[in-house]
Structure 1
């Protein structure tokens, strides 16, 4: 089941962080870059990020989450995370589909590490177009995607 997460609730923020860290640790290993900002997030940072969070729950366990900022035209996805124990169950797809169907926007935007092949392939498979690349530093580059709806 997918439901809104009240990130202002400390326990909810703690739950999100408990899946975010292991999820981004997998990405860090894939791209061989361990200084990803989401790995340094805290409960306080999550509560102040001004993103809307939705979670996928299996019974009462939070297995995955998506966060975004949206206006009347664009949904900008900031996180799409799944705990590694729940990889390959279609949770990321369910969360992405949920956001696309829930928000009446014209465009969805997202960015990921350019070396994160599973994420890059996921967005391409879902009809996102590569818009641009951005070199953060010598070891990290990002790809920005958009999907017109």
Structure 2
């Protein structure tokens, strides 16, 4: 396995980087869309401008100058976690979440994922997140909400 480096980045200051993050995000959310049977995931349809406008802190996981995953948070909420499909099941998502947990100030951390996204749910649960509710955000589009209390 290749050594993964996780670094904080600012896509607003680096548009090519923003484009690379967006490409990973779109490919990752396309997998989630297939898992949950719904492609109305808002982050699947973001543009580079949308990504740069998000008021979040960013991390990327890189190996050999390739972005394999990215994550973002705002306040005490994980905003997004994406891993390139060819890098799934290599610990990249877990490593990104662990760095976010260490970076987030506060006692409670919240996250949501597709209710039917079993791999993401297993990841959050394995890290100690507790399922708090299911929420229908659009007709037929359900999220599973989680919370980690430290």
Q: TM-score, normalised by structure 2?
A: 0.92
1:76-126 CA deviation, whole Å, 9 max, x = no partner? 101110000100110001101111123342111100111111111111111
Instruction: Find the aligned partners of 2:64 and 2:104 in 1 and give their Cα distance.
Output: 25
SS class of match (1:136): strand
Aligned to 2:62: 57
Task: Determine whether 1:2 maps to 2:6.
Answer: yes
Instruction: Find the aligned partners of 1:34 and 1:6 in 2 and give their Cα distance.
Output: 27
Instruction: Find the aligned partners of 2:142 and 2:115 in 1 and give their Cα distance.
Output: 6
Q: Structure 2 regions of 5+ residues with no counterpart?
A: none
Detail structure 1 runs of 4+ shifted over 6 Å in the superposition: none
Task: Determine whether 1:34 maps to 2:35.
Answer: no
Instruction: Find the aligned partners of 2:136 and 2:101 in 1 and give their Cα distance.
Output: 28
Aligned to 2:121: 120
Task: Determine whether 1:44 maps to 2:39.
Answer: no
Q: Structure 1 regions of 5+ residues with no counterpart?
A: none
Q: TM-score, normalised by structure 1?
A: 0.93
Aligned to 2:30: 25
